[in-house]
Amino acid sequence: MPNGQLLKEITNKLLREELDYDLSELRSQHSLNFASLNHGQRVIYDSIIAAIFAKKQALVFVHGHGGTGKTFLWHTIINCVRSESLIVLAVASSGIASLLLPNGRTAHSRFKIPLSIDESSTCAIKKNTHLSNLLQKTALIVWDEAPMVNKCCLEALDRSMRDVLSDGTNYNKDLPFGGKTILLGGDFRQILPVIPGGTKEQIINASLTSSILWPKFTVLTLTENMGLSTDGLSLEEKAEIRDFSKWILSVGNGQISDLTSLGEADESFVTIPFHLLLQASCDPIPTIVSAIYPNICNVQIDPGYYKERAIVTTKNTTVAEINDFVLRITPGTKRVYLSVDSVSTSSTETDDASSLYPIEYINQLEFNGVPSHELALKVGTPVMLLRNISPSIGLCNGTRLIITYFHQKSSKHNNTGSNIGNQSSYQDHLSNQ
- Consecutive 10-residue averages of pLDDT for the chain (433 residues): 54 89 96 95 97 95 93 98 97 88 91 94 93 94 97 97 74 83 95 90 96 97 84 83 87 76 69 85 89 81 76 88 91 87 68 74 81 86 81 75 75 54 48 44
Give me the pLDDT at residue 161, please: 94
Is residue 169 classed exposed, middle or buried when 0-12, 13-18 and 19+ CB atoms within 10 A define those classes?
A: exposed
Give me the pLDDT at residue 426, please: 47
Shared domain for 207 and 307, answered yes or no, is no
Give me the pLDDT at residue 429, please: 44
Dist. CA 177–CA 173, nearest whole Å: 8
Task: Give DSSP secondary structure letters for 306-322.
Answer: HHT-----S-HHHHHHH
Shared domain for 211 and 293, answered yes or no, is no
Shared domain for 213 and 299, answered yes or no, is no
Q: Identify the domain containing residue 390 by its residue range.
A: 285-432
Dist. CA 429–CA 51, nearest whole Å: 48
pTM: 0.81
Does 138 map to a domain?
yes
Shared domain for 20 and 108, answered yes or no, is yes
Contacts 24+ apart (CB under 8 A), 399-407: 399/95, 399/96, 399/99, 400/306, 400/307, 400/310, 402/301, 402/303, 402/306, 403/377, 403/378, 403/379, 404/301, 404/379, 404/380, 405/379, 406/335, 406/377, 406/379
Q: At what angle do helices 23-35 and 70-82 cross, to 10 degrees?
A: 140
Domain boundary (169, 196, 222) is at 222
Question: 395: helix, coil or strand?
Answer: strand
Domain boundary (177, 198, 222) is at 222
Nearest Cα residue to 84 out of 37, 131, 140: 140
Residue 307 contacts residue 100 (beta carbons within 8 Å): no
Shared domain for 101 and 176, answered yes or no, is yes
Shared domain for 22 and 169, answered yes or no, is yes
The H or E element spanning position 381 is none
Task: Give DSSP secondary structure letters for 326-369.
Answer: HHHHS-S--EEEEE-----GGG-S-S-HHHHS-HHHHHT---TT
CB neighbours (10 Å) of residue 29? Answer: 18
**Entry field: residues in the chain:** 433
Shared domain for 216 and 336, answered yes or no, is no
Does 298 map to a domain?
yes
Shared domain for 215 and 290, answered yes or no, is no
Shared domain for 344 and 427, answered yes or no, is yes
Does 259 map to a domain?
no
Does 355 map to a domain?
yes
Does 117 map to a domain?
yes
Dist. CA 363–CA 321, nearest whole Å: 19
Domain boundary (201, 222, 243) is at 222
CATH of the domain at 85: 3.40.50.300
Shared domain for 96 and 191, answered yes or no, is yes
Does 326 map to a domain?
yes
Does 149 map to a domain?
yes
Dist. CA 166–CA 256, nearest whole Å: 49
User: DSSP state, 254?
Assistant: T
Domain count, the chain: 2
Dihedral of alpha carbons 165, 171, 174, 180, sign: negative
Shared domain for 206 and 292, answered yes or no, is no
Shared domain for 33 and 175, answered yes or no, is yes
Q: Which residues contact 41 (CB under 8 A, 6 or more apart)?
A: 69, 72, 73, 76, 222
Does 177 map to a domain?
yes
Give me the pLDDT at residue 427, please: 45
